[in-house]
Structure 1
Amino acid sequence: MNQESKLEEEILASFEREEWRSVPNLTEEIARHASTTFASLATDKRVNIRVSSRDLEDVQGKAAEEGIPIRH
């Protein structure tokens, strides 16, 4: 069983245990989370550091897994 199938089964089991609930004012909740996310991703400082090529590749791979954009 792949990892996605396992996750889907865990989510389904959680739903069947009635652990999920409706969110009142969903639009407002989404807007609140979106603004928080945008603020946390805003960049206002530039930092230059030296790292090995291997470490840079590891960081870039992890960023790609997490969906974090990489600027070159």
Structure 2
Amino acid sequence: MKKLDPEEQALLDDFDSGILTRVPELNSELERHKNYAAATFQKDSRINIRISSKDLRLLQKRALSEGLPYQTLISSLLHKYVEGRLVEHRE
């Protein structure tokens, strides 16, 4: 067995001591969260926007570096923004 890192060992210790327990009705919980995930990424609406060609090139370049199609990157950014999870990084 591979050696556990400190975080993994702490989780295992907490489980062994009873602090952490198994999720009751695990299969129904997994199914519920799968449905949430599917609904989150369901793309059932289409929009058209105009942006500068420079911004589009930069988005495409960033998407390429992330290994994503640029439309997926844009959709992800919009989703994070409306969920309040998009954090502005200032240098």
CA RMSD of aligned residues (A): 2.7
Cα shift readout 1:28-55 (whole Å, capped 9, x = no counterpart) = 0011000111011100122344433233
Q: 5+ residue gaps in structure 1?
A: 1-7, 65-69
Structure of higher CA gyration radius? 2
Report the TM-score when normalising by structure 2: 0.47
Q: 5+ residue gaps in structure 2?
A: 73-91
Aligned to 1:39: 39
Percent identity, please. 22
Residue from 33, 50, 56 that aligns with 1:52: 56
The size of the alignment, in residue pairs, is 58
Deviation at 1:62, TM superposition (A): 6.9
Cα shift readout 1:2-45 (whole Å, capped 9, x = no counterpart) = xxxxxx62123222133531011111001100011101110012
1:1-72 maps to which residues of 2 (within 5 A)? 9=5, 10-18=7-15, 19-49=19-49, 50=51, 51-60=55-64, 61=66, 63=68, 70=72
Deviation at 1:63, TM superposition (A): 4.9
- Letter matched to residue 11 of structure 2: S
